[in-house]
Structure 1
Amino acid sequence: MKFQRRKRVEPSIDITPFVDVVFLLVIFFMVSTTFTKEARLTIQLPTADVAPSEAPEQSIEISVDREGGYAINGIALINRQGDTLVRGLRELAAGNTDTPLTISADGKASHQAVITAMDAAGKAGFVHLNVTTQQPEPEARPE
């Protein structure tokens, strides 16, 4: 007597519903996400390849130290808050926001401290903003 063997069906998981759900979630998040425009400051970025330009007679310099402290024209501020920096800039400018403003930051200063200085300059109404750089030291050529 010969018995017929049943064909074995290999177990498998159908992932089609999973792909459908993931696709619907992606569409949902794309549609429901709100995009906000970040406030941007227009700044004039210097290049380090040219000789340093001479600064005009009247300018304001914000110095950012390694710890994130601020100084305006060499006078240290009492704290590191952006509002204090805005008040100091407005006092020093006395309404003349066309005065060139230069931000000089320590190489180890946090990016947040520099961005806070840029934001304070924008809030104070300054339109001419420069960020200083150092020229790279020339590499010694082996002879």
Structure 2
Amino acid sequence: MKLGSGRVPDEPEINLVSLIDVVFCLIIFLVVTTTFDHRSALKIVLPTTQSSAEVEAAEPLTILVDADGRFFIGSNEVLKRDATSLREAIARVAGSDRERPVVVRADARADTQALITAMDALGQLGFTRISIATTPEARP
């Protein structure tokens, strides 16, 4: 004999109200914390000129570091490997132009200290536009 209350068993249901609240809070958090472009807030009109002088891009100063740790500025080799000699050679070639871009091309097998010496000499001379040349990885 089957005894029962005659009621249909309750089916479980998912309450979506709390899920919607959480998603809404996440959206508000993302909107508030997103950084906006500050330049878009400034509405300025740039002055005009009648002449159209083009700014010539300066040829970058190239410093090469080979696998043995020798330094080359352009095509000229720096005879001594110390930072003082390198700094003097860079100052002689660059002159007073410290805004000139500098490209450091170091051999992958070169000692890290040679690269750091070149970067340190450039920093002590006041160069700020320094980049290190790399090659992209070969894809199969």
* TM class by smaller structure: 0.5 to 0.7
RMSD value over aligned CA atoms?
1.0
Q: Are positions 1:61 and 2:62 aligned together?
A: yes
Match of 1:63, SS state, is: strand
For 1:123 and 1:88, the matched residues in 2 are separated by 13
Do the aligned partners of 2:78 and 2:85 also contact (CA within 8 Å) in 1?
yes
SS of the residue corresponding to residue 124 of structure 2 reads helix
Contact 2:58 2:101 in 1 (8 A): no
Retained in 1: the 8 A contact 2:58–2:100? no
For 2:124 and 2:58, locate their aligned partners in 1 and report how far apart those are by CA, in whole Å. Answer: 24
- Structure with greater helix share of residues: 2
Residue ranges of structure 1 left out of the alignment (5+ in a row): 1-55
TM-score for both structures, normalised by structure 2 = 0.58
* Rg larger for: 2
Other structure's SS at 2:104 match:
strand
- Counterpart residue number, 1:37: none
Cα deviation for residue 87 of structure 1 reads 0.5
The answer to whether the aligner puts 1:95 opposite 2:103 as a matched pair is: no
Q: Which one-letter code corresponds to 1:130 in the other structure?
A: S
- Residues 21-48 of structure 1: CA distance to partner in whole angstroms, max 9, x if unpaired? xxxxxxxxxxxxxxxxxxxxxxxxxxxx
After TM superposition, what 4+ stretches of structure 1 lie above 3 angstroms from structure 2?
none
TM-score normalised by length of structure 1: 0.57
Please give the alpha-carbon distance, in whole angstroms, between the structure 2 residues aligned to 1:96 and 1:57: 10
CA–CA separation in structure 2 for the residues paired with 1:116 and 1:128 = 16
Aligned residues: 84
> What are the within-5 Å matches in structure 2 for residues 22-101 of structure 1?
56-101=57-102
Query: Which amino acid in 2 is paired with 1:79?
Result: K
Q: Counterparts of 1:109 and 1:94 in 2: how far apart (Å)?
A: 27
- Residue 124 of structure 1, CA deviation: 1.3
User: How much has 1:79 moved relative to structure 2?
Assistant: 1.1
2:12 matched to which residue of 1? none
Task: State the Cα distance separating 1:108 from its structure 2 match.
Answer: 0.4
Q: Which sections of structure 2, spanning at least 5 residues, go unmatched? A: 1-56
Identity %: 29
> Structure 1: how far apart are the matches of 2:130 and 2:97?
14
SS at match of 1:71: strand
Counterpart amino acid of 2:120?
A: D
Post-superposition offset of 1:58: 1.4
**1:111-130 deviations in whole A, cap 9, x for unaligned?**
11100000000011111000
